[in-house]
Amino acid sequence: MSTTGQIIRCKAAVAWEAGKPLVMEEVEVAPPQKHEVRIKILFTSLCHTDVYFWEAKGQTPLFPRIFGHEAGGIVESVGEGVTDLQPGDHVLPIFTGECGDCPHCHSEESNMCDLLRINTERGGMIHDGESRFSINGKPIHHFLGTSTFSEYTVVHSGQVAKINPDAPLDKVCIVSCGLSTGLGATLNVAKPKKGQSVAIFGLGAVGLAAAEGARIAGASRIIGVDLNSQRFDQAKEFGVTEFVNPKDHDKPVQQVIAEMTNGGVDRSVECTGSVQAMIQAFECVHDGWGVAVLVGVPSKDDAFKTHPMNFLNERTLKGTFFGNYKPKTDIPGVVEKYMNKELELEKFITHTVPFSEINKAFDYMLKGESIRCIITMGA
């Protein structure tokens, strides 16, 4: 029996209050409207951003809400005006989009779409501001336009990447956020040449993905910098060859790295969110050619301070959002990198839980035990 045009009743994990365990509820999911797609989610994973907004310590609280933005699924039905997707397509919903029509989408250099750029405050759909989720008529807010902690969700078609149907969704679902952010920061922005040295600041999921990019690019040395030495063992599996814990040194970490590398690393990628680490990541690159890339999201009042001479000495500082990938155009290609065994995803997946135990995924992340925990829907 076709569900096209009908309301679908299914299970969703609803966050009713900040920091309180999610509750499994039966929700109603309305059919997709203009330029929208309804997706049956098969696998989703948990990312730090979900946790930050669920905790709502530094963010505007918006509840009840359905979180989740790293996922893989199959299109169930499409709304009016959707021409590039159809029922049965294998897709990854993405937290930021590509309308195809704005100056950013027309620029080869940008992925910061005017219409569909990440918006953490929006709880409804762009088309009419309304939610497609409800419980007994009470609307439940969306998150990042994706809300993948639900067996079915509605997403703007500009936020849906159509991928190779042979790709295992339980693995490639992690490509929708953190993995691509770190990978793209190295491959698309830092662009190390084969044989160059790369320093990675912060060895969480994003930093490890940046290290994976350095491995793929053929970096000769990958130096991991983290304040938490427990991260180092795990990072070895990601090709990180040397470690620096700033706490183990009296000298500034820039100087430690300059001494290790005969004047500085060729490239650095900052994945911490700490402004000190951002400054260190810039100042540790070699003069003449070094490039530093900022990925971490700083605190509201942070300011970046360095001597202008560091720029005059031909160091470059860049920043990136979602690894400079355009979600619809480029993400299918990242999935292909996994399919042709260039990119390794398995090592990022440390845990798996059934949907009914989704709160365990939060525990693993809060304890710092997981890189990625896959949540299997329908289980």
Which residues here bind Zn ion, judged by CB under 5 A?
99, 102, 105, 113
Task: Report the nearest approach of Zn ion to the CB of residue 211 (Å).
Answer: 31
Residue type, 89: D
The site partner of 295 among ligand NAD, Zn ion, none (C-beta below 5 to 8 Å per kind) is: ligand NAD
Q: Are strands 152-156 and 36-45 parallel, antiparallel or unpaired?
A: antiparallel
Instruction: Kindly tell me the number of DSSP H helices and DSSP E strands found in the chain.
Output: 11, 17
Selecting among 35, 113, 153, 373, the annotated active-site residue is 113
Residue nearest to Zn ion (CB): 113
Selecting among 36, 105, 270, 373, the annotated active-site residue is 105
Task: Report the nearest approach of ligand NAD to the CB of residue 152 (Å).
Answer: 26
Residues at the interface with ligand NAD (CB under 6 A): 48, 178, 181, 201-207, 225-228, 231, 246, 271-274, 276-277, 295-297, 320-322
Of 105 and 295, which has the nearer Cβ to Zn ion? Answer: 105
Contact 180, 94 (CB under 8 A): no
Task: Report the nearest approach of Zn ion to the CB of residue 66 (Å).
Answer: 25
Of 273 and 332, which has the nearer Cβ to Zn ion? Answer: 332
10 is catalytic: no
Spatial distance between the Cα atoms of 268 and 12, rounded to a whole number of angstroms: 40
Spatial distance between the Cα atoms of 268 and 293, rounded to a whole number of angstroms: 6
372 is catalytic: yes
Spatial distance between the Cα atoms of 4 and 77, rounded to a whole number of angstroms: 6
The site partner of 273 among ligand NAD, Zn ion, none (C-beta below 5 to 8 Å per kind) is: ligand NAD
The site partner of 203 among Zn ion, ligand NAD, none (C-beta below 5 to 8 Å per kind) is: ligand NAD
Task: Report the nearest approach of ligand NAD to the CB of residue 249 (Å).
Answer: 12
The site partner of 181 among Zn ion, ligand NAD, none (C-beta below 5 to 8 Å per kind) is: ligand NAD
Contact 364, 32 (CB under 8 A): no
Going by C-beta distance under 8 Å and a sequence separation of 6 or more, which residues neighbour residue 252?
280
Going by C-beta distance under 8 Å and a sequence separation of 6 or more, which residues neighbour residue 27?
9, 10, 11, 12, 14, 66, 133, 134, 135, 140, 150
Task: Report the nearest approach of Zn ion to the CB of residue 181 (Å).
Answer: 19
The site partner of 43 among ligand NAD, Zn ion, none (C-beta below 5 to 8 Å per kind) is: none
Selecting among 69, 104, 141, 267, the annotated active-site residue is 69
The site partner of 105 among Zn ion, ligand NAD, none (C-beta below 5 to 8 Å per kind) is: Zn ion
48 is catalytic: yes
Q: Which residues on neighbouring strands pair with residue 86, listed in sequence order?
A: none
- Nearest CA-CA partner of 322 in 210, 214, 206, 177: 177
Selecting among 35, 47, 261, 373, the annotated active-site residue is 47
Dihedral sign of CA atoms 182, 185, 188, 192 in order: negative
Task: Report the nearest approach of Zn ion to the CB of residue 327 (Å).
Answer: 10
CB atoms within 10 A of CB 233: 9
Q: Just list the catalytic residues.
A: 47-49, 69-70, 99, 102, 105, 113, 117, 177, 372
